[in-house]
Amino acid sequence: MSPFKGQTGLKRIVNAASYSLDGLRTAFKGEAAFRQLVLLNVVLVPLAFWLPVSRGERAILIAVCLLGLIVELLNSAVEAAIDRISLDRHPLSKNAKDMGSAAQLVAMSMVAVVWGVILLG
């Protein structure tokens, strides 16, 4: 059992929320790609409410936008962990970072495809 897992109940939930907000602040301050995706979401999410689409389509439009943010947070976490281990160039480190970047490419492609399919019908 990890010594960092000592809290239970409501205290654990409060701590987890605090750590999550810290992560969002860190990503926003330190990751330009995350800020760009937040800006994209600030445009696309309200647009999804304005478009004449069904509730299900609206939910999907919003979900794929949020998924892009989630993937970027995970990609940034992988990069931070790799950099924490070593700043030396290593083929495995490159692979991990490249795969995180590829995940983000797939997520953003999914945003484009879903929005395109729903809007172009």
Q: Is 5 one of the annotated binding-site residues?
A: no
* Lookup result for tokens 């991990």: 96
Q: Is 98 one of the annotated binding-site residues?
A: yes
Q: Is 88 one of the annotated binding-site residues?
A: no
Identify the active-site residue in 48, 64, 65, 72: 72
Q: Is 89 one of the annotated binding-site residues?
A: no
Q: Is 29 one of the annotated binding-site residues?
A: no
End-to-end CA distance of the chain: 52
Torsional sign, CA 37, 43, 46, 48: negative
Q: How far apart are CA 82 and CA 52, in angstroms?
A: 44
Q: Are 78 and 96 in contact (CB under 8 A)?
A: yes
Q: Is 115 one of the annotated binding-site residues?
A: no
72 is known as an active-site residue: yes
| Residues of each annotated binding site for ATP | 12, 19, 31, 79, 97-98
| Residues of each annotated binding site | 12, 19, 31, 50-53, 58, 72, 79, 97-98, 101
| Residues of each annotated binding site for substrate | 12, 50-53, 58, 72, 101
Residues serving a catalytic function are 72
